[in-house]
Amino acid sequence: MVDNISNPDIVIIGSDLHPPIANFEGSIAQTIFNGISLKKIHRISICVAREGESDKNFTCLRSPIKRPLLLKKIYLGVALIAKIRLALKQGVPVFHFVRAGQDFLGAFLCLWLRLAGRKVVVTLLSDAPSMLGLRFSHAILVHSPKALNYLISNGADVRKCVCINPPVRFSTPSKRMALKINLSNNTRFQFLVLSAPNSRAQIGRRGVPLLIDACQILDARGAPIDVCIHGRWPEGHGILQSMIERANVRNLQIKTAVLDNLGAEIEKSAGIILPYTGKGMPDVPLSALEAAALGRCVLATQGLGIGQLLRGYPGYFEIPVNPRALADALEQAAICHWDELGDWAQREMTRFSPENFTRDIQAIYERI
C-alpha cells in the first residue's frame, strides 16, 4: 500500500469496489484513467482492494478493527480524513466521491473541501443520499433518468445534476464475449438472480417470497425453467436456504459464490432477474446492462428504471411485484429470438462503452 499522495489533479474516493469509477476492474479501469487527458488521478479505496491493485496512484484504507462495526467506521473515517488532509496540503483541486460522499461523514467532507476552496464531485449509487452533502458539491453524477428525477424531487439543484451512462463490460464488439450459445437447444433454461453480501436488502424485503411463489407456479405448469440465486453473504445464506427448503421448491436454488467471471455465468444463462421491491433510488444494476450487452434477457420489477436505460431492448421485461406476472415473463423470456437480442446489443450497447464514459467524465471535470 502506498501512503503518499504526490500532487494529483483529482482524488477519487470510493467506499468499495462498486463501479463505475472507484475501482473498476481490469482493462476498463485502464481505459478510464488513461483516457482522462492531462489529469493525474489518485484513487483512495475504503476497505476493499483486489490483487495487484496497489500502485503509486492507489491507496487502500483497511481497518485492523473488525468488531464492533462502529469502531471500524470511526477508524476508517479518521484514516480517510488524514488522507484528505495530505491531499489538501498537496494542493489537489478536485475531489470525487463515489458512494463515500453520501452519508453524514460525506456531508462533512464535502463542506470541509468546499470551505477549503476545492471542487467537489459526487457520484450517487445509493437509496439514502445525504442531501446536505449534495448542497456543498459542484456536480452530482447519476446513471439513470429515474435517479435524476429522484434527486430533483428531493430538492437537489438541477443545475448540478448530470446523468451519464455507466461503463459496461462487453459493451463493444471487441470487448464482448461471443454470442455463440444456442439457448433454444437447451432442455432447461436457467435465470440468475445476482446478489450482494447484504442479499436480502439487495433483493428487497419481498423479493425472495416473490421468487419462491413464481417458481412454484412454473413448476406446477411444467415449465423447463430454473432460477438460481448467486451471491456471497456469510449470515444470509442459511436464512434464504431455509426459506427455499421450507417451501419445497425444486426449481429454485441458492449458491454462495464469488462470481469472478460474471460474463461467463450470464452467457450460460438465459438471462437475469432483478426482483427489487424496495423504495427510493436503488443502486444502478450494472448486471442488467451487462446481460443486455451479452444478448441475454433482463427481467426487472417496476421501479428500477432499467427500461429507461435499455430503451427498445427486445429482451427486457418489466414486471409488477406479482409472482404470476414474473412466472409469465420467465416463460416469454425462454422463447426469445436470441439472434435479435445479440443484434441489438451489437448495435446499441456502444453508448455504454468506457470510452464514452471517459469523455463524459472529462467534460464534467473541465466544466467545474
pLDDT digits (tens, 9 = 90+) for 103-124: 678 888 888 999 999 999 888 7
CA proximity to 293, closest of 361, 336, 334, 351:
351
| Cell numbers that stand for 315 in this block | 429482451
> CB neighbours (10 Å) of residue 169?
23
Distance, in Å, from the CA atom of 302 to the CA atom of 236, rounded to the nearest integer, reads: 25
- Are 10-167+353-367 and 183-350 the same fold in CATH? yes
Q: Domain 10-167+353-367 in CATH: superfamily?
A: Glycogen Phosphorylase B; (3.40.50.2000)
Helix 207-221 to helix 323-334 angle, to the nearest 10 degrees? 60
Distance, in Å, from the CA atom of 154 to the CA atom of 161, rounded to the nearest integer, reads: 12
Domain 183-350 has CATH 3.90.190.20: no
Distance, in Å, from the CA atom of 307 to the CA atom of 316, rounded to the nearest integer, reads: 7
Band of residue 165 on the pLDDT scale cut at 50, 70, 90:
confident
Q: Which residues of 319-355 are buried (b: 16+ CB within 10 A; e: fewer)?
A: bebebebbbbbbbebbebebeebbebbeebbeebbbe
Question: Radius of gyration of the chain from Cα atoms?
Answer: 21
Q: What are the distances in angstroms from CA 217 to CA 168, 225, 249, 250? A: 34, 11, 10, 11
Contact criterion met (CB below 8 Å) for 287 and 170: no
pLDDT digits (tens, 9 = 90+) for 202-245: 454 567 788 889 999 999 999 999 998 876 554 556 667 777 77
Q: What is the largest CA-CA distance in the chain?
A: 67
pLDDT above 90 as % of the chain:
14
Band of residue 141 on the pLDDT scale cut at 50, 70, 90:
confident
Q: Which residue has the cell 429522484?
A: 150
Domain ranges, ordered by start, for the chain: 10-167+353-367, 183-350
- Residue 26 amino acid letter: G
22 SS3 class: coil
Helix 354-367 to helix 26-35 angle, to the nearest 10 degrees? 40
| Cell numbers that stand for 262 in this block | 460474471
Band of residue 26 on the pLDDT scale cut at 50, 70, 90:
very low
